[in-house]
Amino acid sequence: MSRLPLDQVDAFVTAARLRNLTRAAEAMHLTVSALSHRMRLLEQRLGHKLLARGPRGVELTPDGQRLFDAISGPLDTIEHALRRATLRNDHTVTLSLIPSMATAWLVPRLPAFLATHPELGLNLQSSTHVVDFEREPVDLALRLGGGRWANVHAEFLFPEWITPVASPALLKQHGRPAPDQMARLPLLGDPANRWKDWFEHFGGQPPARYVAQFDDTETLHQAAAQGVGVALARWTLAEPLVKAGRLATLTKKRLQADFAHYLVYPERSLGHPGFRKVRAWLLEQAGVAVER
């Protein structure tokens, strides 16, 4: 038998670890169909099934379990060796963050940083995938959450605020109501139902229905900019659109979200000179005093 293609082996090990084809495909930056195709090729080559679909994802067959037990350890050793080799490059730093945060907050600040540090290469991984520092050669990440993640350092950057925004044309038509009267305007819903928090805090009643419902924050903001309705926006992401004149705020009132922005990194990054420069810059941009 010829050597097994490593892409098929990696697909199998990733799916076996995560027990979910969608999450495994995201981790490998593949489509689910591409991952499934690699799995089929590997199963055809070996002559037996490795994974079986279950009610909560996929499960290893007995043959799959034996193969996973045999190869997962050696692959971990290879991954750790490659990670150490990557970290020896003191002038390349890999940063993971979600696309909307990259576009709205990080990228506008990058030119000044790169001009100050021409010796550094900054590798941005823009994805909604939550990085696994144990398996991926990533030095640090920007995360939104409560600040508690296992086996990593998490440093507070800044809070997130939510506030109503709409297109200037819509506000010209409807005006700016008081915070407790927002329901008289066409409102856009989001999956977190933050309008409920808004009305509980500032008074008033949410509408019986929203003119449209969105499951993605960036799309929600773009819909508001197109005049579809009023969005309860995350200020960090909406601020560039406000400065560009595509959105306008309805009130100076803001509601602090129950999540915030954090700088997250593993212990190993502390010995990386390039990481220390990027960390100091991010904390400075966030307005946090940095210990020199």
List, for residues 3-54, the tens digit of each pLDDT value.
557 788 888 888 888 888 888 888 887 888 888 888 898 888 888 899 988 7
Give the pLDDT band of residue 130 (cuts 50, 70, 90): confident
Average pLDDT value for residue range 207-228: 92
Lowest mean pLDDT segment, chosen from 76-85, 237-246, 276-285: 76-85
Q: Which residue has the higher pLDDT, 75 or 171?
A: 171
Boundary (domain end) residue, out of 40, 70, 87: 87
Residue 168: per-residue pLDDT: 97
Q: Mean pLDDT across the stretch 178-183? A: 93
The span from the CA of 35 to the CA of 30, in Å, is: 6
**Residue 173: burial class (beta carbons within 10 Å; 0-12, 13-18, 19+):** exposed
- The CATH code of the domain that includes 224 is 3.40.190.290
264, 279: one domain: yes
Domain residues for the domain of 123 are 90-292
pLDDT of residue 176: 93
Q: What pLDDT score does 250 carry?
A: 95
Question: Over pLDDT 90: what percentage of the chain?
Answer: 50
**For residue 65, which phi and psi values (nearest 5 degrees)?**
-65, -40
Name the band, by pLDDT with cuts 50, 70 and 90, for residue 197. very high
146 and 287 co-located in one domain: yes
Domain end: 39, 69, 87, which one? 87
DSSP 226-290: TTS-BEEEEHHHHHHHHHTTS-EES-S--EEEEEEEEEEE-GGGGG-HHHHHHHHHHHHHTTPPP
Q: Examine the domain organization and report whether 81 and 162 are in the same domain.
A: no
Residues 40 and 27 grouped into a single domain: yes
pLDDT in tens, 48-107: 899 988 777 889 899 989 888 888 877 777 666 655 555 455 688 999 999 889 989 999
The b-or-e profile of 46-57 (16+ CB within 10 A means b, else e) is beeebbeeeeee
| Chain-centre distance for alpha carbon 221 | 17
- Which pLDDT belongs to residue 265? 96
Q: Do residue 141 and residue 272 come from a single domain? A: yes
Together in a domain, 134 and 23: no
Which of 70, 87, 104 is at the close of a domain? 87
Same domain, 68 and 108: no
- Supply the mean pLDDT for the chain: 88
pTM: 0.67
pLDDT band at 292 (very low <50, low <70, confident <90, very high): very low
The total number of structural domains in the chain stands at 2
